[in-house]
Structure 1
Amino acid sequence: MNDETRPTAERPVAKPGPIKPLGKVVAVTSGKGGVGKTFVSANLAAALAKRGQKVLVLDADLGLANLDVVLNLYPKITLHDVFTGKAKLEEAIVRAPGGFSVLLAGSGMVEYSRLTPTVRQDFLHIMSGLLPHYDIVLLDTGAGISDVVLFAVSLASEVLVVATPEPTSLTDAYATIKVLVGEQQRRTIRMVINQTARMGDGRAITTQLQQVLDRFVVAKPGEKVRLIHMGDIPADTAVRQAVMRRQLLILSTPGCPAALAVSQLAGKIEDTLINKPL
């Protein structure tokens, strides 16, 4: 960050609004941790890359990043080095198994766990540098509704909320959606239900959430929030095996039910978001 953009005591920093995405940006988020959000981000990226898309996944969980663990990567340069000026943006971009690019945050970045003006400006600068070079950028956000998570989500043209059928996950997903509607004026939220037991469970869950939103959450007078069910990912023993081996399911067991579901999700993302003009 140069002297012209660095906050000073003499010149108050205006609170900048979200940038208009220069490309297709999807925030993969969740209300609750442990629902498979990073698993979905990584395997969705691999499935999209397999379809010929140029994909980057940015680990936007600046405080508790773990995308590197899922991908079995040991980066020498992370987003922290770019933020602090120790490295250039292009030096921090790593090629991941599966043919997509990643920008890893580095775990334990305490100074980036709060949305300060410096963190906001640095993040905006990073995004502006990335977006023109990719067909789609996936933001693997932290869970919940902290200011850092909400800011990362605000940069996305689309939001993909990952939840499981567990009541705690659905309660937190509802709370997250409510905040996104109230603070970011979101009118459309896309849902993926992970670890479903039976075919059709996810659509039924999405319908139930929609009914609750219709009753208690109002976007504008006469305007409802729309949940779009993007797919289910069934409970599958191959998922745990791949996670424990730090492998992408799409690569290790491409024919298993969960991998096929992620591939179908990639097809929907490609058809509705990537091939659709902004």
Structure 2
Amino acid sequence: MSEIMNTPMTPAAPAAAPAGGVLLQPSRGRVIAITSGKGGVGKTFLSANLAAALTRRGLRVLVLDADLGLANLDVVLNLYPKLTLHDVFTGKCALDDAILKAPGGFSVLLAGSGMVEYSRLTPEVRDDFLRLMEQVVPRYDVVLLDTGAGISDVVLFTLSLASEILLVATPEPTSLTDAYATIKVLATQQGRQQVRLVVNQAVRPGDGRAITAQLQAVLNRFVGAALGGERSAGGAAVRLIHMGDIPVDKAVKEAVMRRQLLLLHTPGCPAALAVGQIAGRLVDTVLKAIA
């Protein structure tokens, strides 16, 4: 999107008080979807390490691998599941049998990889997901949905199950373009009034705030027109909330290659500390009632 690349990057203004998002499923206020417009930006890395950081704060956390076609949460966590979400959906096992305890103390429900039958949002897939969410959400303080990348019908349906969207992007132009497209769809098709943004692989302090301001300006200009003048409480078509940056850190690659959580492999490195700060902001703004 040329409009993104041509918008100057300026420091973001101080955020206004959080505006209430559109809860598509009001009973699921503890569900946070972690997504991205482009693959390969660290979405699953953040899902796993954020779960560990929230668990350290005393919360009961489940990470649900909702990328049914290209699941890789098991690789990040070095787990070898005998039973997966596919077995739950097909009735081959009970839900409790498929939930595993991950390194870091949180629970995971893993999905099999390469399952073509889950590449489209069929009525069966939709019903399976809804039944699953009804069972798992009451059992945990927070459920993190590690979704697929992009704006397929399966990904968008998964996002509709969450009360909060945590979008992961990198400073690269392709990632920012796809992030913009994702936010636009969430605003125009799902009525989202706010999206939380994490910038991964930030090179300089302040990169994330500048990127957030840049994307916000483009959204105000183009998505506002598409919505016919509708605005959130903060005056924008859709409000971006900068949740933090994760800096470029060689410890991340080392942890990924070792298939270990960064918070366990190198807990004091800059990237691990940044994930901990993001977890703190989530607790303060989204999960404070149960923390």
TM-score scaled by length of structure 1: 0.92
SS of the aligned residue for 1:58 comes to strand
CA distance in structure 2 between the aligned counterparts of 1:126 and 1:101, rounded to whole angstroms = 15
**After the TM superposition, which residues 145-224 of structure 1 pair with which residues of structure 2 at under 5 Å, given as runs?**
145-218=151-224, 219=227, 221-223=229-231, 224=236
Does 2:271 align with 1:262?
no
CA distance in structure 1 between the aligned counterparts of 2:29 and 2:264, rounded to whole angstroms = 27
Does 2:97 align with 1:91?
yes
Pick one of 25, 28, 32 that aligns with 2:34: 28
CA distance in structure 2 between the aligned counterparts of 1:222 and 1:120, rounded to whole angstroms = 30
Between 1:45-54 and 1:268-277, the stretch displaced more is 268-277
Instruction: Say what the alpha-carbon RMSD is for the aligned residues.
Output: 1.3
**What is the one-letter code of the residue matched to 1:48?**
L
Q: CA deviation at 1:20?
A: 3.4
Q: What do residues 37-61 of structure 1 show as CA deviations (whole Å, max 9, x unaligned)?
A: 0000000000000111100000000
Pick one of 32, 50, 74 that aligns with 1:68: 74
Aligned-residue sequence identity (percent) comes to 72
CA distance in structure 2 between the aligned counterparts of 1:181 and 1:116, rounded to whole angstroms = 23
Q: What do residues 46-98 of structure 1 show as CA deviations (whole Å, max 9, x unaligned)?
A: 00001111000000001000000000000111000000000111111100000
Counterpart contact for 1:23–1:131, Cα < 8 Å = no
Residue 64 of structure 2 is matched in structure 1 by 58
CA distance in structure 1 between the aligned counterparts of 2:146 and 2:213, rounded to whole angstroms = 25
Residue 16 of structure 2 is matched in structure 1 by none
Residue 122 of structure 1 is matched in structure 2 by 128
**Structure 2 unaligned spans of 5+:** 1-23
Residue 245 of structure 1 is matched in structure 2 by 258
Does 2:237 align with 1:229?
no
What number of residue pairs does the alignment pair up? 261
TM-score scaled by length of structure 2: 0.88
Counterpart contact for 1:23–1:134, Cα < 8 Å = no
**What is the one-letter code of the residue matched to 1:221?**
G
Residue 6 of structure 1 is matched in structure 2 by none
After the TM superposition, which segments of 4 or more aligned residues of structure 1 sit over 3 Å from their partners? 18-23
